[in-house]
């Protein structure tokens, strides 16, 4: 009998999961639902899904896997509705949310009669959004965290991983509390700090417009994560409130220590502060996907000459290397300009670097 998957939420993550499942399980039928009717139609026309669900409540009772690819708050609302539906025996339910404790607690209410909810968090993303940006390679080598509740049979966790093996992700199993604590430190807190820096710079820019021009370079790069969805981050902060409040207090304490160093002009402590940070960062794994979306950026020095940008893009196009974004950082008369090219993966970046070097272009990327 043909297996069926109900996908609720057709954005970048949902669409990419659908493609990875279709590739690995071509015999299964993927049914898609989204409140955005245009997104559903687009997903069908792009063959990301096989059939449109008008009311997911009607389709949920006859599927083998339900994926909630919506924000955590919306996913919890869906789980509440699924409680009153008689689901198929051995049906698995999972989500893709960035916080896990609350939704796993909610999912326990559906875990009965061989129906299991297992939390999930694919730690991958893209500079593009929406179902049109869906990419079967989005999750390759990325961490995919599985957060089963206590008592979930290991066979059910393995079954979920088998459904998702087409992602080619690196599965890690964590309990929900540890997940929220770890992602709070390496993802949620950095987003708060980046947003605060951008806001503070914006306030200064109101009085001194030149500040905005100066921030167009490195500052814009290191605060890129502040451009993420405000709705999504509102929900993440509220769902992970207790952990983030504790971390923000620790951050405040650390910044007070920096203030004390400066007030006391303690050069030795200031040096130690930066030295320890440098050593710790240099020890971090290189070339791996983590909690924050990697910046697969390659910088290319280009001469001030007509047609140079089309030359670079043509070279890459001949090698079938896809560019997801291109930016001219500097291009003034009589000086070298700099192009920043963004790629889907580190592999594409390394190939582009080699190809462009063969054409005598000077390239460099950031470790």
Q: pLDDT by residue (tens digit) across 126-163?
A: 667 789 989 898 898 889 999 999 889 999 999 999 99
The torsion of the CA quartet 284, 288, 289, 295, rounded to 10 degrees, works out to 90
Q: Do 292 and 190 touch, CB atoms closer than 8 A?
A: yes
The residue-averaged pLDDT of 56-82 equals 95
If you compute the radius of gyration of the chain from its CA atoms, what whole number of angstroms results?
A: 23
Q: Does the fold of domain 179-282 match that of domain 4-174?
A: no
Q: What is the mean pLDDT of residues 350-360?
A: 89
What's the rounded mean pLDDT across residues 192-207? 94
User: 224 pLDDT exceeds 90?
Assistant: no
Q: What is the pLDDT of residue 22?
A: 95
- The H or E element that residue 120 is part of is strand 116-122
Sheet holding 337-343, edge to edge: 323-330, 337-343, 297-302, 362-364
Provide mean pLDDT across the span 205-231. Answer: 84
Task: State the average pLDDT over residues 338-358.
Answer: 86
The whole-model pTM stands at: 0.78
Q: Tokens for 36?
A: 């955005």
The span from the CA of 300 to the CA of 50, in Å, is 42
Q: What is the DSSP letter of 8?
A: E
Mean pLDDT of 33-51: 95
Residue-level pLDDT at 333: 42
Please give the pLDDT value at position 334: 43
Q: Which two tokens stand for residue 257?
A: 């220590």
Q: What is the mean pLDDT of residues 253-260?
A: 96
CA angle 16, 19, 24 (to 5 degrees): 130
Q: Evaluate if residue 308 carries a pLDDT over 90.
A: no
Q: What is the pLDDT of residues 102-119, one digit of tens each?
A: 999 999 988 876 899 999
Residue 332 confidence class, pLDDT cut points 50, 70, 90: very low
In CATH, what number does 297-364 get?
Answer: 3.30.2130.10
Instruction: Give the C-alpha separation, 189 to 89, whole Å.
Output: 40
Confidence of residue 291 (pLDDT cuts 50, 70, 90): low
In this prediction, residues 182-210 reach a mean pLDDT of: 93
Q: Percent of the chain beyond pLDDT 70? A: 93
CB 99 within 8 A of CB 73: no
Indicate the pLDDT class of residue 309, thresholds 50, 70 and 90.
confident
Q: Is the dihedral of CA 14, 16, 21, 27 positive or negative?
A: positive
Orientation angle between helical segments 230-239 and 241-263, nearest 10 degrees: 100
In the chain, where the domains are located: 4-174, 179-282, 297-364
- pLDDT given at position 231: 86
**Sign of the torsion formed by the C-alpha atoms of 281, 283, 287 and 293:** negative
CATH code for the structural domain at 4-174: 3.40.50.720
Q: Which residue has the tokens 């047609």?
A: 307
Q: For residue 129, how many C-alpha atoms fall within 13 Å in the half-sphere facing its CB?
A: 5
Mean pLDDT comparison of 213-227, 235-249, 287-301, highest-scoring range: 235-249
Sign of CA dihedral 122, 234, 132, 310: negative
Q: What are 139's two structure tokens?
A: 């999750």
Q: Is the pLDDT of residue 265 over 80?
A: yes
Is pLDDT at 287 greater than 60 in this prediction?
no
CA-to-CA separations, 323 to 46, 78, 133, 314, 343, in angstroms, rounded: 20, 37, 13, 11, 5
Mean pLDDT value of segment 203-218: 86
Instruction: Compute the mean pLDDT over every residue in the chain, rounded to the nearest whole number.
Output: 89
The arithmetic mean of pLDDT across residues 263-283, rounded, is 93
**Interval 201-226 mean pLDDT:** 86
For the domain made up of 179-282, the CATH class stated in words is: mainly alpha
């Amino acid at each position: 009998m043909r297996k069926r998957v109900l996908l609720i939420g057709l954005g970048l993550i949902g669409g990419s999961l659908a493609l990875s499942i279709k590739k690995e399980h071509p015999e299964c039928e993927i049914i898609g639902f989204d409140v955005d009717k245009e997104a559903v139609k687009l997903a069908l026309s792009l063959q990301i899904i096989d059939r449109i669900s008008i009311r997911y409540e009607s389709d949920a009772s006859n599927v083998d896997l339900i994926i909630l690819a919506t924000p955590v708050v919306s996913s919890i609302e869906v789980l509440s509705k699924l409680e009153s539906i008689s689901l198929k025996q051995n049906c698995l339910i999972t989500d893709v949310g960035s916080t896990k404790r609350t939704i796993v607690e909610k999912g326990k209410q559906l875990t009965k009669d061989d129906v299991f909810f297992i939390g999930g968090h694919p730690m991958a993303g893209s500079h593009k959004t929406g179902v049109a940006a869906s990419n079967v390679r989005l999750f390759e080598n990325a961490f995919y965290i599985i957060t089963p509740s206590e008592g979930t049979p290991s066979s059910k966790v393995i079954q979920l991983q088998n459904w998702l093996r087409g992602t080619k992700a690196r599965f890690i199993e964590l309990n929900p509390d540890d997940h929220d604590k770890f992602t709070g430190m390496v993802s949620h807190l950095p987003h708060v700090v980046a947003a605060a820096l951008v806001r503070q710079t914006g306030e200064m820019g109101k009085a001194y417009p030149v500040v905005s021009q100066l921030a167009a370079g490195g500052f814009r790069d290191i605060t890129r994560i502040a451009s993420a969805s405000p709705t999504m981050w509102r929900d993440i902060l509220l769902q992970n409130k207790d952990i983030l409040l504790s971390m923000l207090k620790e951050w405040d304490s650390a910044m007070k220590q920096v203030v004390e160093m400066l007030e006391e002009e303690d050069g030795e402590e200031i040096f130690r502060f930066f030295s320890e940070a440098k050593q710790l960062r240099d020890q971090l794994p290189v070339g791996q996907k983590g909690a924050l979306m990697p910046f697969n950026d390659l910088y290319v020095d280009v001469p001030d000459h007509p047609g140079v940008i089309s030359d670079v893009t043509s070279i890459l196009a001949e090698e079938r290397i896809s560019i997801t974004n291109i930016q001219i950082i500097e291009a003034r008369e009589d000086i070298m300009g700099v192009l920043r090219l963004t790629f889907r993966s580190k592999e594409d970046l390394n190939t582009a670097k080699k190809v462009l070097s063969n054409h005598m272009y000077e390239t460099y990327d950031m470790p």
